Amino acid sequence: MTRVIWLQAAGCGGCTMSLLCAENPGAIDLLSDAGIRFLWHPALSLQSGEEARALLQAVADGQEPVDILCVEGAIARGPNGTGRFQMLSGTGRPLMDWVRDIAARATHVVAVGSCAAFGGVTAAGGNPSDAVGLQYEGAHPGGLLPPDWRSRSGLPVINVAGCPTHPGWVTETLLLLSAGAIGAGDLDGYRRPRFYADHLVHHGCPKNEFYEYKASARQLSDLGCMMENLGCVGTQAVGDCNIRPWNGEGSCTRGGFPCINCTAPEFEEPRHPFTETPKVAGIPVGLPTDMPKAWFMALASLSKAATPDRIGINAVSDRVRVPPTLRKPK
């Protein structure tokens, strides 16, 4: 049996809500069938009050073994490094102290969502609560835990980033950890699991035909590619959101909203509106990953010149206006 403690720190609880939206199978059945059991989860467990406090104290003291510590939400260190902006009710201690103590006992530590990983939305707007991720402060190593911290398994904090994170990313990470199937080489440079971080949101995007011809949407209701005008950074953002969409159906770009790179550190403050593409001399600042600017400009010019009427017209429409041409077999 794999024992999991789940703590909710400074955040909205959206990653738990996302986890509960897992379907076929549901998260609870999937994890239970794999022998993964929540010792405690603040939203899902029956224990509360003194029972919950006693359990957490037993884990922190090493009397109750824990295999995986999951933390959802950023760690609020304020005011003045005391952590007293977020106390664990009834204990008289800041939540950040409990996280440190239990992390030292856990075989693995998982940051669930971008707030827990990097600070996320909780750290935006001047960061009045001095919020950080478990082992990152934005893009910089070192958060609540120092950069060289390692769990009892020898691994750093595993950052299952996303806002909210995909339920499949959480369950797959827990299943792999339970099976002993994640090593240092299975994490990317920001310590996100590579099973999803080796993909781009662009992969499988339903707007890819428009992207190929640089046929761009002008407003959010248009069908065209949202990279040129509407701030979409799916060609740069890691995630398999369009390969395995939420509930088998949904993703940001499938819903007509630009990808805002929510799996990345500091996505929450891009220094421009999320639905606007910053440009210099009419050229988008953010270009697709691994593509030199000169190549992109040459490709874009050729693509725009070759855009079929069907794609150009549909790109700036809210529905398909021109269907594909019917051709008789030869």
Q: What number does CATH give the domain 199-321?
A: 4.10.480.10
Question: Looking at residue 283, what is its pLDDT?
Answer: 74
- Mean pLDDT, the chain, integer: 94
pLDDT(294) > 90: no
Tell me: pLDDT of 23 over 90: no
Inter-helix orientation angle 49-60/95-105, to 10°: 50
User: Is 178 exposed, middle or buried (CB count within 10 Å of its CB: 0-12, 13-18, 19+)?
Assistant: buried
| Average pLDDT, integer, range 116-137 | 97
Q: Mean of the pLDDT values across residues 97-120? A: 98
Give dist(CA 102, CA 5) in Å, integer. Answer: 9
Tell me the pLDDT tens digit for each residue of 221-269. 999 999 999 999 999 999 999 999 988 888 999 999 999 999 999 999 9
Task: Give 62-100 pLDDT, tens digit per residue.
Answer: 999 999 999 999 999 999 999 999 999 999 999 999 999
pLDDT tops 90 at residue 286: no
CATH of 2-197, one of 3.90.79.10, 3.10.180.10, 2.20.140.10, 3.40.50.700: 3.40.50.700
Percent of the chain clearing pLDDT 70 (strictly above)? 100
Number of other CB atoms surrounding residue 136 within 10 Å? 28
- Number of neighbouring beta carbons within 10 Å of residue 105: 19
Contact criterion met (CB below 8 Å) for 144 and 156: no
- Which band of pLDDT confidence, cut at 50, 70 and 90, is reported for residue 106? very high
Buried b (16+ CB within 10 A) or exposed e, 272-283: eebeebeeeeee
User: pLDDT tens across 155-180, in order?
Assistant: 999 999 999 999 999 999 999 999 99
Residue 17: strand pairing partners: none
The residue ranges of every structural domain in the chain are: 2-197, 199-321
Closest CA to 134 of 161, 170, 166: 161
Overall residue count recorded for the chain in this entry: 330
Residue of 43, 46, 76, 39 lying closest to 60 (CA atoms): 39
Confidence band for 288, pLDDT divided at 50, 70 and 90: confident
Q: Please answer whether residues 211 and 217 qualify as being in contact, where contact means their C-beta atoms are separated by less than 8 angstroms.
A: no
pLDDT at 292 over 90: no
The average pLDDT across 110-124 equals 98
Assign 29 a pLDDT band (cuts: 50, 70, 90): very high
For residue 295, pLDDT beyond 80 = no
User: For the chain, first and last CA: distance in Å?
Assistant: 62
116 near 71, Cβ under 8 Å? yes
